[in-house]
Structure 1
């Protein structure tokens, strides 16, 4: 992540959190951030600004459909929302927003996505309760718009304490993002075997690497159903 992206994130969030706290968490100098503000933020053209808002709207539609829609289905969805955008514009905005759909084979034998692991059963059943810490963690990915584009945030939340026990930020949606968040949680909490990690069916959480990390750490995977935000409501 570049310094400009970090400063852009701090500028966007400084009305919610203290600047000193954000700078400490993101490991940048407070004075350097204010120097960046003093030099003036990058000038954004009206076209780039319009693209940013359009990409944000497209990202919302994609997230509402569990991050599975590709260009064709997103084009149809955005038409239903009153936007007359053609397939080429939607594909371009998907690149801007870092959106990638899940592709399915039309013919032949079904195959898993490249690099995908197994899908776990729902062990939570919307009952986001735990008798003590480190018995149930819930996880999800969100995003924030910065001056340099979208910044993605992966979090791991303890169901008992409601505390964020692990998090990671990056300018991509690769599986490393959720692995870093999980790694922080495991390092900080050192949970006993049998802890349940609950998430949605995002490709990051169903990846082979993520599943292997859970198993080797003694963590049990759980996933809600596809297309229902209530199955991961606490993290959402």
Structure 2
């Protein structure tokens, strides 16, 4: 398939610029994450900085004047808070069984000595520093030596995913590096060292209103949910995020599991779904006959949305009424987003928008290993047909 040049909506450009300005990251760093050329992103930044609205992005600082005693007390309190934070982290990362076994405690201290002071860890784990240093002098077994080289690789794969990967995806990453450790061994090591995927319990919120008299369409893709090439089947739906009522709508390419269109608004009206469809069409330029599958929500059954599909020669498909599994891949994406990202209280919608944009365009599409396509990233799956 001939690779089409990328085309970007104004909303995409604004979110990319916001990611640079608000996070104070370099243009090069953000461009690499989003798969853009530096010159392209720098041009967007220069353009949006010239607009009056962008003044709100520029951080301001206030000089604080205080006495020497006040400054000293603040330093002392910060040091105390840091010590308490480290104690809490040590207790969180070390499980109860570990703290009952001196050898396991010593192994934990050895693995974390670059992150926390040794004497602090000994105090929290209730072992003596002398016992730890004596343990260090013992000759290490081959298994311990192997684990000593494997653990940093596990931690690196975990950090590269921003703490989102559990043992299956960490195992997939290490396998691409040529490491032969089994998934069970990696799972045991992650559990032993307190390395856990960041997961938040998803909140189920009803957003689909199918109680209408508008025309619907039959389900053309169930039950296999497969596509033979990109831009053959798209899936669409929407959900609210965890912050206030900021709604995210998205369209997924079923073949690659790539999110090809998305938009965020403070409402869930037809305009939101239409903005997503417009972005997907602009960026992907699908051929005639593509199947667009969605639930029976009033947004997707509306005349305006159906007209937009018809003008692009897109075939309409809809889930059966109240059937969760009729759009399972799309539901899976939103479950991933809610459990791996939306696990905090955002200060405002702009902060939530930045996080969601970075998650979709910088992580999910380009980096995250997807189990349904053989533990590769959606963009890699899409490029296989180029």
- TM-score computed with the length of structure 2 as normaliser: 0.35
The aligned counterpart of 1:138 is: 235
Answer yes or no: is the 8 Å Cα contact 2:209–2:296 preserved in 1.
Answer: no
Structure 1 gaps of 5+ residues are 1-20, 39-58, 69-101, 104-111
The aligned counterpart of 1:29 is: 21
Structure 2 gaps of 5+ residues are 1-12, 25-55, 63-202, 332-386
Greater relative contact order structure (CA < 8 Å, 6+ sep): 1
User: What secondary structure sits across from 1:205 in the alignment?
Assistant: helix
Separation in 1, partners of 2:319, 2:253? 17
Please show how residues 77-92 of structure 1 align to structure 2 within 5 Å: none
Output one character per residue of 1:15-34: Cα deviation in whole Å (capped at 9) or x when no partner: xxxxxx99527577315669
Separation in 2, partners of 1:176, 1:26? 23
RMSD over equivalenced CA pairs, Å: 2.8
Would you say 1:199 and 2:294 are equivalent positions?
yes
The aligned counterpart of 2:245 is: 150
Would you say 1:173 and 2:275 are equivalent positions?
no
Change (3 A) 1:29 1:178: same
Separation in 1, partners of 2:14, 2:328? 26
Change (3 A) 1:134 1:26: farther
Find the structure with the greater CA-based Rg: 2
Answer yes or no: is the 8 Å Cα contact 1:129–1:159 preserved in 2.
Answer: yes
Would you say 1:210 and 2:305 are equivalent positions?
yes
How many aligned residue pairs are there?
147
Separation in 1, partners of 2:18, 2:252? 19
Please show how residues 116-131 of structure 1 align to structure 2 within 5 Å: 117-131=214-228
Change (3 A) 1:28 1:178: farther
Separation in 1, partners of 2:273, 2:20? 23
Change (3 A) 1:200 1:26: farther
Change (3 A) 1:166 1:35: same
- Flag as ranges the 4+ runs of structure 1 deviating above 2 A: 25-29, 31-36, 59-63
Change (3 A) 1:25 1:175: farther
Separation in 2, partners of 1:26, 1:193? 35
Deviation, 1:35, is 4.2
Change (3 A) 1:209 1:22: closer
Separation in 2, partners of 1:194, 1:222? 12
Change (3 A) 1:135 1:25: farther
Change (3 A) 1:228 1:22: farther
Separation in 1, partners of 2:268, 2:253? 22
Of Structure 1 and Structure 2, the greater strand share is in 1
The aligned counterpart of 2:321 is: 226
Answer yes or no: is the 8 Å Cα contact 2:249–2:272 preserved in 1.
Answer: yes
Of Structure 1 and Structure 2, the greater helix share is in 2
The aligned counterpart of 1:107 is: none
Deviation, 1:61, is 4.9
User: What secondary structure sits across from 1:133 in the alignment?
Assistant: coil
Please show how residues 6-85 of structure 1 align to structure 2 within 5 Å: 24=16, 29-30=21-22, 31=24, 35=59, 60-63=204-207, 66-67=208-209
Deviation, 1:181, is 0.3
Change (3 A) 1:193 1:152: same
